[in-house]
Amino acid sequence: MEIIKTVREMQEISIEQKQKGKNIGFVPTMGYLHEGHLSLIRKAKEMSDIVITSIYVNPTQFAPNEDFSRYPRDFERDKELAEKAGSDFIFYPSDNEMYPNGFDTMVLVDTVTKKFEGEKRPTHFNGVATVVTKLFNAVMPNIAFFGQKDYQQTLVIKKLVEDLLFPISIYIVPTLRQSDGLAMSSRNVYLSTYERTRADIIYRTLITAKEAILKGEKRRKIINAIMLNSLRSEPLVKIDYASAADANDLSEPEEFNSGQLVVLLIAVYIGKTRLIDNMLVTIPQF
């Protein structure tokens, strides 16, 4: 496995691989890799000839009060894990390589970024859309892999690719969870031992709401209330949002229709750690 640190070299490698007729799969990450990331790399290996993983903690997607400087990093460990999972290259640019002095352009995906994560973190998706655009231009993949874990982000990326005509397919990989249901996340290391034992409330809440929907509940506010009540049963939780929305456009009708695909979205603090999760449910036809 090779480590590539400059955009120019990354582009040259990708062009060379494509000239050889190879299909390039790309897995963008912020590093501190866990099984969730590795499942993306394994899926990329399965679906492409060459896998490129990027490791870059992108400063523009963090607000000044967020955890950019203390975001966990361990490049040596990441290298080993990525290689074992099947990555052929790691793109590992510096901040100066990605945002040299004078950098002056941002990418804005408008409507789908207005609610939920976008409302709570107003500059976040501009940073995500900008860095993903740059990474796509550096790596030039045929197919890029993203986790369902960051559900709204997957909608943003799909819109970005569609609107800016990137010749790249987007593949969404299901969320990998710990045995108690907690979604794997680099941020889980922030949790104290006690907080970690309580963090399964997020998954249990999603399951409770899903079961209510499968039993016939279609009223959005009732579904939201079920999630809020469940989360409030855990004193460590501070709720940012817990909402059901249309899975395609995040619209919020009073009542969902039979057959409609709904996403249950949760963002909470457990102590000082902010965690997000989601679950897809189809409203039953009866």
Which are the catalytic amino acids? 37
One of 183, 213, 223, 242 touching ligand AMP (CB under 6 A):
183
Nearest to ligand AMP of 59, 253 (CB atom):
59
Find out whether 278 and 206 touch, Cβ atoms under 8 Å.
yes
Find out whether 159 and 186 touch, Cβ atoms under 8 Å.
no
Query: How many residues lie near ligand AMP (CB under 6 A)?
Result: 17
User: Is 40 among the residues that bind ligand AMP (CB under 6 A)?
Assistant: yes
One of 118, 127, 141, 147 touching ligand AMP (CB under 6 A):
147
One of 17, 39, 133, 278 touching ligand AMP (CB under 6 A):
39
Nearest-CA neighbor of 28 among 39, 37, 18, 15? 37
CB neighbours of residue 95 within 10 Å: 12
Nearest to ligand AMP of 29, 230 (CB atom):
29
Query: How far from the centroid of its chain's Cα atoms is residue 173's Cα?
Result: 10
One of 7, 112, 173, 199 touching ligand AMP (CB under 6 A):
173
Identity at 108, one-letter amino acid code: L
Nearest to ligand AMP of 183, 268 (CB atom):
183
Q: Which of residues 105-144 bind ligand AMP (CB under 6 A)?
A: none
Structure tokens that stand for 31 in this block: 């590093």
Contacts for 97 with CB less than 8 Å, ≥ 6 apart: 5, 6, 7
User: Is 176 among the residues that bind ligand AMP (CB under 6 A)?
Assistant: yes
Q: Give the interface segment with ligand AMP, choosing from 107-115, 183-191, 207-215, 229-237 (CB under 6 A).
A: 183-191
Return the DSSP state at 217: -
Q: What is the largest CA-CA distance in the chain?
A: 59
Binding site for ligand AMP (CB under 6 A): 29-30, 36-37, 39-40, 146-147, 149-150, 173, 175-176, 183-186
